[in-house]
Structure 1
Amino acid sequence: MLTLILLYALVENVIEKPDGITISLFFILGIIAISLVSRVTRTTELRVEHIELDETARRFVTDSLIHDGALTIIANRRQAGDATEYAEKEAEQRGTNPVPGTADVIFLEIDVVDPSDFSDVLQVRGVEVDGHRILCAGSPAAPNAIAAILLALRDATGVRPHCHFAWSEGNPLGHLFRYLLLGRGDTAPVVREIIRASERDPGRRPGIHVGG
């Protein structure tokens, strides 16, 4: 009964004095517009000041460098997370991208966490699944985290990493809005742009390869 009374009072107030609802509407629209502008301006920011690799992740990087003196990364969006998925992903990338036949590959996976939860430190952990080695991290935006990790690996090892992607299915505009709202989209172009904005020297930029 109390709820009905309050609803009746609300409707009557809006009808008699609609100024309040109009002001509220403009206030809400203003907040949304400012939020979108803020999101767009942060698109190409690294958003990470420091990368921390656990012991297993550091061992993966060291072993890969010992193998062939290179860092060959395959970006993967985890599905089942089993050995079959990683074997198929590696075979796909070797078939569509210039992954050398003898290259030692490491997978890189970003779990998108709460988009409002920004942190200056990105924790990267190493996980092994049936012989497949994966670097895993959680971040509000996958492209920004991938770019930050690639640049950090370059700085720590002195070797330019080469990261391999597959094209995302779907409309590019749809991927753009997904990235702005959810931190996911067509990852490869955004990663490349973030790296370009962060590193002026093309010769020092990590390599981004997209096939498929």
Structure 2
Amino acid sequence: MDRHSQHRPPDRSGTSPTVVCVLITIAFDADVDAQAGAYATGILAMMVSGAFAVTVSTARRGHRPAAIGFALLTLVLLYALVYNIVDKPDGITISGFFIAGIILVSLISRIARTTELRADRIVFDTLAHDQSINIVVDRRQTGDSAEYRAKELEQRGSSPVPGPAHALFLEIDVGGPSDFSDTRTVHGVEVGDYRVLRAEAPAAPNAIAAILLTLRDATGVRPHCYFAWAEGSPLRHMFRYFLLGRGDTAPVTREIIRSNEPDPDRRPGIHVGS
């Protein structure tokens, strides 16, 4: 069973470099001579990297004479790079501003898109329910029955997980955090007596929110999701989320759901135990 959970957002992949390039061009009055140092610095840095990579590759293959030759070439190019930086420091300055600009614009873009679901469509390979959907979020370690048994006991001891039936576990394997939109397939597996939903996504909170909303719409049942509080500094978790797609998952998931579902009565329930 599947559904479209949101429209595909516009592709902004080339926006950041373009904006920074335009700003640099304006700053130097589109003067090619003024930007020559930066161009030479970039080209030499690329050549040094390539020569070094070839040196390492030939050395690992046991081609000693070739490795020595490429090593000498690397040293020559490195000398040229250092001399160019000393002679025309504006090159490394422009390169530094370009890198800083890319990072800044990319960070602003990522923050602005924090509450997106990051999924065009959620697809379940199997889907069954008994008019009650209680989901425990788990970060898989061993993936055996003992892990799920311990996790369920932990949640039942700290959260209001209702009923005697086993909860449904949800596991998100985080991939590239810059992949903002795609089809997510949720696979159902059984480990002993436990039922587990598994999916891959660029960020855990966005994927969990999209799955909960899709479950609600597909079944007509308002799901409830149970988390444990993350240990550590909230600031560290914030940076982990922006860079790696993981962090203090529960509050971010709740905010994403709030941003995408205006009716509080229709929002999936988010519960966090100590």
User: Which category of TM-score, normalised to the shorter sequence, fits these structures?
Assistant: over 0.9
- Decide whether the 8 Å contact of 1:160 with 1:206 is kept in 2: yes
Say whether residues 1:99 and 2:130 are aligned partners.
Answer: no
Q: Aligned equivalents of 1:101 and 1:157: distance in 2?
A: 19
- 1:166 aligns with one of 215, 220, 228: 228
Q: 1:124 aligns with which of 161, 170, 186?
A: 186
Superposed CA offset, 1:100-125 (max 9, x none): 13244100000001223344311000
Maintained 8 Å contact 1:176/1:186 = yes
> Given the alignment, which residue of 39, 62, 79 partners 1:8?
79
> Is residue 184 of structure 2 the alignment partner of residue 113 of structure 1?
no
| Equivalent residue, structure 2, for 1:156 | 218
The equivalent of 1:207 in structure 2 is 269
Q: Which consecutive unaligned segments of at least 5 residues does structure 1 have?
A: none
State the one-letter code of the partner of 1:155: D
Q: Which has the higher contact order (CA 8 A, sep 6+)?
A: 1
Is contact 1:141-1:179 (8 Å) kept?
yes
| Counterpart Cα distance in 2 of 1:202 and 1:101 | 24
In the alignment, is residue 26 of structure 1 matched against residue 77 of structure 2? no
Please say if residues 237 and 247 of structure 2, whose CA atoms lie closer than 8 Å, have aligned partners that are also in contact: yes
Q: What's the offset of the Cα at 1:34? A: 1.2
For the Cα contact (< 8 Å) 2:170–2:197, is it kept in 1? yes
Contact 1:113 1:138 in 2 (8 A): yes
What amino acid is the match of 2:167? V
Distance 1:117 1:199 in 2: 23
Map of 1:192 onto structure 2: 254
Letter in 2 for 1:172: P
SS at match of 1:116: coil
Q: Is 1:136 equivalent to 2:216 in the alignment?
A: no
Instruction: Give me the TM-score of the superposition, normalised by structure 1.
Output: 0.92
| In 2: Cα distance, 1:159 partner to 1:80 partner | 31
Distance in 2 (CA, whole Å) between partners of 1:36 and 1:20 is 24
Trace 1:41-56 onto structure 2 (pairs within 5 A).
41-55=112-126
RMSD, matched Cα: 1.1
Question: Could you tell me how far apart the structure 2 residues matched to 1:102 and 1:88 are?
Answer: 15
Show CA shifts across 1:132-175 (max 9, x none). 00000000000000000000000011111000000011111100
Identity %: 67
SS in 2 for 1:77: coil
Give the number of the structure whose alpha-carbon radius of gyration is greater: 2
Name the SS of the counterpart of 1:143 in structure 2.
helix
8 Å CA contact 1:72, 1:103 repeated in 2: no
Check conservation: 1:94, 1:101, Cα contact below 8 A.
Answer: no
Cα shift at 1:11: 1.5
Name which of structure 1's ranges 181-190 and 92-101 shifts more when overlaid on structure 2: 92-101
- Tell me by how many angstroms 1:10 deviates: 1.6
CA distance, structure 2, for counterparts of residue 135 and residue 88 of structure 1 = 17
With 171-180 and 113-122 compared, the bigger mean Cα shift is at: 113-122
| Structure-2-length-normalised TM-score | 0.72
Give the drift of 1:39.
1.1
